[in-house]
Amino acid sequence: MKITKFLTATAVGGLISAVPAYAQDVQEDEAIDDNVIIVTATKREQTLQEIPVAVSVTSAETIEQAEIRDLLDLQSVVPSLRVSQLQSSANTNFVIRGFGNGANNAGIEPSVGVFIDGVYRSRSAAQIGDLPNVERIEVLRGPQSTLFGKNASAGVISVVTQKPQFTFGGSASLTYGNFDTIVAKADVTGPISDTIAFSLAGNYNRRDGYAQDLALGTDVNDRDRWGARGQLFFEPSNDLSVRLIADYDRIDENCCIAANIVNGPTGAIVNALAGGVGIDAENPFSYDVYNNFLSSNEIENYGVSGQIDYSFGALSLTSITAYRRVDSQTNQDSDFTSADLVGRNFADVGIKTFTQELRLASDFDGPLNFLLGGYYFDENIDQNNEFFFGSQFRAYGDALVQAASGGGLNVALLEGTLGALDGDPTQYTDAFFRSGDGLIEAFDFSNEAYSIFGTLDFEVTDSFTLTAGFNYTNDKKRFSTNIVSSDVFSSIDLDAPQYTPFREQLLLGAGVDAATAAFLAANPTVTLPDGSSANPLSGLKGFQFLPPFLNVPNAVEDGRTDDDDLAWSIRGSLELAPNLNVYATYATGFKASSINLSRDSRPLAADLPAIAAAGLTTPNLVSGSRFAGPENAEVYEIGLKAQFDNAAVNIAAFKQSIEGFQSNVFTGTGFALANAGKQSTFGIEFDGTVTPVEPLTLFLAVTFLDPEYDSFVNSAFGDISGETPAGIPGISASMGASYTHEFDSGSKLIGRGDYLYESSVNLVDGLAGFPNGFAESLQREVNQLNASLTFQHTSGFELSVYGRNLTNAEYLTTIFPSVAQNGSISGYPSQPRTYGVTGRFKF
């Protein structure tokens, strides 16, 4: 069956140079075929016009001209996508249409699935290396579980690289930019024989830090990464092909700075311990920071994959087999001050992943066609962490205790008094907040999953097609922990009966009458009418940072999850005219349970009685989350795709929701993992291009979102049902233009500019320890201008000058309560202006 050929700009904002060519009065199919964009978002080759899915495609040419170096930069041309770099090079979060999570915790898989050449990358450390020799990037918006075997409840980012060619060729490029940026890339491809082709590619990316650590006298937030990629392509016949890929990339850099946003009451203590300035208070865009040791990120990401495609008659069989590893070692000065509070926060994570996908597709001349596939996933994670107090943490703890008690207590007095009441006045001497104390953590995690998926297309008429899809998934996870806390103060139960005399003494000293003081001291868990605790020591509980840990598995908690789900979709697509298609879709999506592989993993509240009955209770044991249950997504969507002589338009309107959205929020001392009851978003997406005159093409992409927590009773900030989720701008827009001037010699001069706008939005859902509504005073609005000018010579040589964030827009990507600094807020500032020049030669 001959498909209708279609060409457009990248579906959201990224321009391709072929658009003006198509806008001409081209009559021959061959001319159109040379420029057509074929996408595989539905695991079939289709044009953007035909594919009844909300998908954005960014071409290799756009990536080059816009200087898009990795997935972090991609969001500037895809406004429905948001990518956030968090506290290290190993933590990046992807969000589509306001839905997404997965960073900061190796046990939480992303809701946005990332695939490179059909291979699932399960964790962010495996996703953010410099882009390989890219052919295109497809961003699928909305649940995609019926076509992808693992975790696509919010959407998919699919990176497609160039396969080896049987014609010798290649390219080399060198970039120099501000902050002494050096980026070098090279690739070569060609035949080994009539049936075997190869390609080799390598990249190097280095940059000085754009921030200054004034305490250590060095630049920070640098970039130092490189990678290599080799491929072999066997094509012994028109019916059989085999593609083998091996890749390796390494990151060794110092990332990521966090600036002080609100300087709370601990700021003066930090400065005193630092002997002057410990933080650059409330000045995030000075890019001046103070640390007492450099944060390090060493990440290796490598793997092999093989894809076999075999056609027999009207059927085609595809097999993709892959094995991948990620080894990540990070150590961070997590208090982000030059005082030695957190002396070590080290994480060593090893991830091993094996995947196998097998699918059979038909291409019959009749009205029915199908795709049927199976997917197997096997992953093991070994994670070892060390979190130790620094040399000044005892002095810091002493200052906190004095401040909390109004000067009536100090650490030495606490040690002696509590020790005496426990039977030995010296047993706690010099033991509270001791340097080198903390946690040693070990996690072992395994995940085995399989799925069976398929779609069936029925051409009701030549112009109307119905498509139904399904995916049955079974997902099993097993995890165990071995965590030991040496933080002595955190093991003290300040409500214990033996401390009644001490509590009574403090109440009497505060002017409470004798009878009331005796009652309250004996009943420390009573809540007073004003909502405060009856225990005068309760203010010290916030300093019990690392309480003893109840390890898993135990007699009550087996450390296992077992989820299964049947996701399905139904879609109708109608060709109103050769250049005008409409579609309507209902689809569901699924993501299995996520595991809390962190020191904040706590038993579920429902398990606490059984734990107490089994005699497993540890001091200061509270409820929390060992895991978050599955996410179940659904979307109702209608869309229109149109191509005219000099313009292209795509519009989608949708209502999308996720029940059980897995929220992972940093609270200042740890992460709160919880399922939201339901989060939903109504949205409209528009993208279009127009060529008013042949050399000039204009493009505009706008995303409107109206998100809401329909139900979220147990969030880290209480019941926030009915509120607007943080971090999701109501309006995102990418707009710009490309102008191509062709000289008589055939050389070209291409100017390109794009502007990204995101409306003002709250950065977090709330801030623990701050008044209600305070978080709303800290918002983000993005106004980013990018531009480039490229000269292309007929010899294959290109020279480009570029600038990203030319207006030096300043905004905070996210904020969080400062680590162990109650009343202070930290945040990650946006990257400043970057610019440079690139020389490229293609042959």
626-661 pLDDT tens trace: 999 999 999 999 999 998 889 999 999 999 999 998
Higher pLDDT, 289 or 664: 289
- Closest Cα to residue 101, out of 119, 86, 117, 116? 86
**What confidence category does residue 30 fall into, taking pLDDT thresholds of 50, 70 and 90?**
very low
pLDDT at residue 50 tops 80: no
pLDDT at residue 825 tops 50: yes
Phi-psi region of 114 (alpha: psi -120 to 50; beta: other; left: phi over 0): beta
> Cβ neighbours of residue 256 under 8 Å, at least 6 residues apart?
85, 86, 87, 88, 89, 221, 295, 828
Q: What is the pLDDT of residue 58?
A: 86
| Tally of CB atoms within 10 A around 842 | 14
Q: What is the pLDDT of residue 18?
A: 30
Q: Give the phi and the psi of residue 515 in degrees, each rounded to 5.
A: -65, -45
Any alpha helices (H) in 140-220, and if so which ranges?
none
> Two tokens at 635?
């979307």
Pairwise CA distance, residues 373 & 360, whole Å: 6
What confidence tens digit (pLDDT) does each residue in 314-344 have? 999 999 999 999 999 999 899 999 999 999 9
| Range with the poorest average pLDDT among 86-100, 319-333, 335-349, 764-778 | 86-100
pLDDT at residue 239 tops 60: yes
> Cβ neighbours of residue 771 under 8 Å, at least 6 residues apart?
none
Q: Residue 29 gets which letter from DSSP?
A: H
Q: What is the pLDDT of residue 540?
A: 93
**What confidence category does residue 530 fall into, taking pLDDT thresholds of 50, 70 and 90?**
confident
Pairwise CA distance, residues 690 & 9, whole Å: 9
Contact assessment for residue 610 and residue 556, using Cβ atoms and an 8 Å cutoff: yes
Q: What is the pLDDT of residue 142?
A: 86
| Range with the poorest average pLDDT among 19-23, 270-274, 503-507 | 19-23
What confidence tens digit (pLDDT) does each residue in 476-515 have? 999 999 999 999 999 999 999 999 999 999 999 999 999 9
Kind and range of the H or E run holding 450: strand 438-459
Give SS3 for 273.
helix
Buried/exposed code over 246-255 (b: 16+ C-beta within 10 A; e: otherwise)? ebbbbbbbbb
Q: What is the pLDDT of residue 129?
A: 62
Contact assessment for residue 750 and residue 793, using Cβ atoms and an 8 Å cutoff: no
**Helix axis angle, 500-509 relative to 514-522, nearest 10°?**
140
Contact assessment for residue 88 and residue 105, using Cβ atoms and an 8 Å cutoff: no
* Mean pLDDT, residues 11-40: 35
Q: What is the pLDDT of residue 87?
A: 63
- Closest Cα to residue 602, out of 615, 621, 585? 621
Pairwise CA distance, residues 433 & 412, whole Å: 11
Q: What is the pLDDT of residue 10?
A: 29
Q: Give the phi and the psi of residue 441 in degrees, each rounded to 5.
A: -125, 140
Q: What is the pLDDT of residue 632?
A: 93
The DSSP line for 721-781 is TTSPPTT--SEEEEEEEEEEEE-TTS-EEEEEEEEEEEEEEESSS--TTS-TTGGGGSEEE
**What confidence category does residue 107 fall into, taking pLDDT thresholds of 50, 70 and 90?**
confident
The DSSP line for 689-735 is EEEEETTEEEEEEEEEEEEEEEE-TTBTTB--TTSPPTT--SEEEEE
* Mean pLDDT, residues 90-102: 78
Any alpha helices (H) in 373-463, and if so which ranges?
393-404, 411-421
- Cα four-point dihedral sign 29, 34, 35, 40: positive
Pairwise CA distance, residues 108 & 477, whole Å: 12
Q: What is the pLDDT of residue 669?
A: 66
Name residue, tokens 């020799």.
133
> Cβ neighbours of residue 337 under 8 Å, at least 6 residues apart?
270, 274, 278, 279, 290, 291, 292, 821
Buried/exposed code over 433-466 (b: 16+ C-beta within 10 A; e: otherwise)? bbeebbbebebbbebebbbebbbebeeeeeeebe
Name residue, tokens 């700075």.
257
Contact assessment for residue 175 and residue 838, using Cβ atoms and an 8 Å cutoff: yes
Strands 288-289 and 211-213: parallel
pLDDT at residue 47 tops 80: no
Mean pLDDT over the full length of the chain: 88
**What confidence category does residue 17 fall into, taking pLDDT thresholds of 50, 70 and 90?**
very low
pLDDT at residue 21 tops 50: no
* Mean pLDDT, residues 550-577: 95
Pairwise CA distance, residues 15 & 751, whole Å: 12
pLDDT at residue 91 tops 80: no
Any alpha helices (H) in 536-633, and if so which ranges?
608-613
* Mean pLDDT, residues 26-42: 43
Contact assessment for residue 599 and residue 113, using Cβ atoms and an 8 Å cutoff: no
Bridge partners of 698, per DSSP, are 690, 737
What confidence tens digit (pLDDT) does each residue in 391-437 have? 999 999 999 999 988 888 999 999 999 999 999 999 999 999 999 99
Kind and range of the H or E run holding 213: strand 211-213
Domain ranges in the chain are 18-183+192-250+260-323+334-376+438-486+549-842
Pairwise CA distance, residues 162 & 554, whole Å: 50
Contact assessment for residue 637 and residue 142, using Cβ atoms and an 8 Å cutoff: yes
pLDDT at residue 600 tops 90: no
- Whole-prediction pTM: 0.90
> Two tokens at 673?
């993992």
Contact assessment for residue 783 and residue 731, using Cβ atoms and an 8 Å cutoff: no
Contact assessment for residue 180 and residue 208, using Cβ atoms and an 8 Å cutoff: yes
**What confidence category does residue 216 fall into, taking pLDDT thresholds of 50, 70 and 90?**
very high
**What confidence category does residue 86 fall into, taking pLDDT thresholds of 50, 70 and 90?**
low
Q: Give the phi and the psi of residue 214 in degrees, each rounded to 5.
A: -75, -20
Kind and range of the H or E run holding 243: strand 240-253
Pairwise CA distance, residues 89 & 129, whole Å: 9
Pairwise CA distance, residues 656 & 261, whole Å: 34
Q: What number does CATH give the domain 18-183+192-250+260-323+334-376+438-486+549-842?
A: 2.40.170.20
Q: What is the pLDDT of residue 113?
A: 85
Percent of the chain at pLDDT above 90?
70
The DSSP line for 582-596 is EEEEEEEEEE--EE-
Q: Cα–Cα distances in Å, from 728 out to 480, 779, 799?
A: 35, 11, 37
Higher pLDDT, 24 or 39: 39
pLDDT at residue 375 tops 50: yes
Q: What is the pLDDT of residue 790?
A: 96
Contact assessment for residue 118 and residue 307, using Cβ atoms and an 8 Å cutoff: yes
* Mean pLDDT, residues 577-605: 91
* Mean pLDDT, residues 295-307: 94
**What confidence category does residue 280 fall into, taking pLDDT thresholds of 50, 70 and 90?**
very high
**What confidence category does residue 48 fall into, taking pLDDT thresholds of 50, 70 and 90?**
low
Highest mean pLDDT among 19-23, 406-410, 732-736: 732-736
